[in-house]
Amino acid sequence: MKNPELSPDCVLEPLPDYREYPQAEMVERARAFHAELLRRRTVRDFDTRLVPREVIEACLLAAGTAPSGANQQPWFFSVITDPEHKRRVREAAEVEERSFYESRAPQEWLDALAPLGTDWNKPFLEEAPVLIAIFAQKYGVHPDGQRFSHYYVPESVGIASGLLITALHHSGLATLTHTPNPMSFLNKLCGRPTSEKPVILLVVGYPKQGCQVPVHGGIKKPLSAIAQWIGPEHG
């Protein structure tokens, strides 16, 4: 259906599949979701067990539902499961990580990382069964080869990445957001054009038996430190 007050290119349809819940159920669902996400922790020790491809594909489709500037969906996900490719990713990443930890990182940054126990050595890049390189597309290309701009690219890709991490957690998998700097080596290893910027190398799999995680990573700010309420409360 077209609205005469809107652009002729804008076609409207009834809002599909929206569900409204009684307020008590809304509260219960919101609190249950929060409780589920509280169980999510960043993992650095991964089991080598394979992950069903169908799980990864469904989670990628969930990430693809994210809102984006002008609905241009400026993201691309390269899924790496081949052992040789993972080895090459690890080698390239560790070159950048060693440089970061040994010479480029300011002491303040190193002090902030100390409670997490990280260093340049990244064995999980080979041990985990799945690596997902997340790329931000600076522009799109029409079928005739003409470029067109993408809008709000960092924001859009960030939202999609958050949905992907959440979907993987909901599926029973653990993740690690790895961000070696620079990450341009991923363009070559994944066969992606230089117009796409790699932003996250997401490590995915099952946590290794007996896996331990830093206590510091589970300490989250209280609501009073991350939000404020402006105006009267409703409910």
| Residue 214: inside a domain | no
Contact at 8 Å (CB) between 201 and 93? yes
- Is 30 part of any domain? no
Residue 220 falls inside a structural domain: no
DSSP annotation of 168: H
Element (H, E) at 149: strand 147-149
On whether the CB atoms of residues 39 and 220 are closer than 8 A, the answer is no
Confidence of residue 235 (pLDDT cuts 50, 70, 90): low
The boundaries of the domain holding residue 123 are: 42-209
The number of residues making up the chain comes to 235
pLDDT score of 228: 94
How many structural domains does the chain have?
A: 1
* Mean pLDDT value across residues 101-121: 87
- Residue 34 falls within a domain, yes or no? no
* Domain assignment present for 35: no
Look at phi and psi of residue 155 and say left if phi exceeds 0, alpha if psi is from -120 to 50, else beta.
alpha
User: pLDDT exceeding 70 applies to what percent of the chain?
Assistant: 97
In a domain? residue 142: yes
* Position 189 pLDDT exceeds 90: yes
Residue 170 lies in a domain: yes
CATH number at residue 121: 3.40.109.10
The mean per-residue pLDDT over the stretch 195-201 comes to: 96
Residue 221 in any domain: the answer is no
